Structure 1
């Protein structure tokens, strides 16, 4: 339940940062919260790893012995660099301020995730139709919400504006899992459940808003 997520927020955040602060391979299926402090810490770690890999690649090329080990090692390093590009784009795109740089990171990669980044860019530029079309296409190929705060939030808002309230609630819930302290998300969820007629969920988000120190009555974001 989301109220439990809120109450354990600090504990969950610290556990997540601890787990992902090392240099293991990582995944786009990030568990726990995706708040600004976690994202900043992880991006710094990835940049350090990237620099070390560049140094390793330079050494291997300089001392190239044309043996199979060197070739395999270089292949592994280049593959990991591409992985880091995707991971950095995934993490940084949780803020609209970073969308252009995230798109640049993905420019040489073939990935459906690029559609999400382009959609966020259109959203930032207030081109809602283009944003909605791209996200509809992406989620027709990948039906489950991503482990991503901003994509789920934006798509949830767009689904509300297209009167798809059940689907909107699904994506907004996932966004709230990734960033449970976002007051606006809980107002959106509360208003969505008012349309659906789910009294339990309305009460739940009222309680979460009180817990976060927000206005449990909220304001209508549907028309914005």
Structure 2
């Protein structure tokens, strides 16, 4: 009887070690995945969010198992992974302003300054342009890298245009165009900026793009 118990215990330990190793491998493998896409159309965003939700559900189940076997080190690693997935869902879902409240709630317990961008989007939607501009300005003053995000670049680009900071506006609006090249509003504003700066060639290019987007031959 004692021998059977020992064999059972050894088998359980071996099973758990195999499970632990497989989780560790998945964490390492997932760190190589880059959640980035050139175009952020609605269909692409939906596919990415659906996959992230599956990842979140999978991580949640594994966290429950890790909690039951009292592996605090791996549990904390997976907890961090779960927060990262939450952030990514909020990042992509916020490309649709209608999702902002959901996104803010999703990352409410995560200490990241990306919340400033979400609040800036919300302010913009509520026509609080001054507050929106200040939130974006504060964020990008601390984070010099452009985000792979359609709405953030569009809204901040528009606000910079309103502030007559044309050179900066071009940078953000062009980034938004990378994500949604079919957005006429972006090309209209870029055309106006180029005209104000006397960049006639660039203005002409935007005019041609608008003609194509309007379906005029």
- Place the TM-score, normalised by the shorter chain, in its bin: 0.7 to 0.9
Q: Shift of the alpha carbon at 1:196?
A: 1.2
Structure 1 position 56 matched with structure 2 position 62: yes
Q: How many residues align structurally?
A: 188
Tell me the equivalent position of 2:38.
32
Alignment TM-score, normalising by the size of structure 1: 0.78
Q: Shift of the alpha carbon at 1:204?
A: 1.4
Report matched runs for 1:43-192 at 5 Å: 43-62=49-68, 64=69, 66=70, 70-192=71-193
User: Following superposition, which runs of at least 4 residues in structure 1 exceed 3 angstroms of deviation?
Assistant: 23-28
Decide whether the 8 Å contact of 1:166 with 1:196 is kept in 2: no
Deviations along 1:135-180, one digit per CA (max 9) or x if unpaired, are 1111111223211100110001101111111111111000000111
Cα distance in structure 2, aligned partners of 1:31 and 1:54: 26
Tell me the equivalent position of 1:41.
47
Cα distance in structure 2, aligned partners of 1:103 and 1:127: 18
> Is the helix fraction higher in 1 or 2?
2
Deviations along 1:97-142, one digit per CA (max 9) or x if unpaired, are 0011111112111112111111011111111110011111111112
Runs of 5+ unmatched residues, structure 1: 1-22, 217-224
Cα distance in structure 1, aligned partners of 2:155 and 2:73: 41
Decide whether the 8 Å contact of 1:135 with 1:155 is kept in 2: yes
Runs of 5+ unmatched residues, structure 2: 1-28
Cα distance in structure 2, aligned partners of 1:195 and 1:94: 29
Tell me the equivalent position of 2:203.
202
Alignment TM-score, normalising by the size of structure 2: 0.81
Q: From the CA coordinates, give the structure whose radius of gyration is larger.
A: 2
Tell me the equivalent position of 1:221.
none
CA-based RMSD of the aligned residues comes to 1.9
SS in 2 for 1:82: helix
SS in 1 for 2:109: coil
Decide whether the 8 Å contact of 1:186 with 1:208 is kept in 2: yes
Decide whether the 8 Å contact of 2:56 with 2:86 is kept in 1: no
